[in-house]
Chain A
């Protein structure tokens, strides 16, 4: 099983460039999330989605946009990249049923460097 797949795994951007990170999950999960992880800061939620066609802001949404046109895909966009967006980005998904509802299944991460 592929689980949660992120592309690309690595990317280097120049300030002001745009890019999109793609997340795909094959577990039929309702919820999907984008987190960023920085040294000393832990995982911080950027945006999330409760289902196809819906998105919502998390803790640190500024500078990012998201879309969920299909249930299995969640895209994270940077319209004008800034050095402060240099980070490791993790996509995750979760189901809403069962005792551990909310357990996150993570992708392998995407390391983004903005010069």
Chain B
């Protein structure tokens, strides 16, 4: 099975930097995804990590440590439009080929509020 933990809510100020943490415990690991979800909308892909280290993508960066079962999403120069939920999702490994290799298990999400 898989267990994914992330904070329920966070608040940060416009223009600041915020780090959203995600810890996971899985029977296998084959990649970690971050998604952004605005209220009333579908999740959209933000980042993907499969090897240890930092992946940078504009104002957003994502970090992974497989040995620690830990990832974070870093948002810089926060804007009001960044107010959303951020979902951490882990892709487990499978002993067989098939959809099990590609299933994502999601954390409950972190609701980020950006204030002026």
Which residues of A are at the interface with B, using a C-beta cutoff of 8 A? 31, 33, 35, 40-45, 48-50, 56, 58, 90, 94, 96, 99-109
Contacts and interface: CB of A to CB of B under 8 A. Distances in A.
A101 B105 CA distance: 14
A42 B107 contact: yes
Interface in B18-39: 30-31, 33, 35
A102 B102 contact: yes
A101 B50 CA distance: 11
A106 B42 contact: yes
Given A106-B42, A108-B41, A99 B108 contact: no
A42 B106 contact: yes
Interface in B84-116: 87, 89, 91, 98-99, 101-109
Contacts of B109: 42
B70 interface: no
A43 B106 contact: yes
Given A42-B107, A101-B102, 4 more contacts: A50-B98, A102-B104, A107-B42, A109-B41
5 contacts: A35-B106, A48-B103, A56-B99, A102-B101, A106-B42
Contact of A102 (B35, B91, B106, B107): B91
B108 A41 contact: yes
Contact of A42 (B44, B48, B87, B99): B87
Nearest to A3: B42
B110 to A, nearest CB: 11
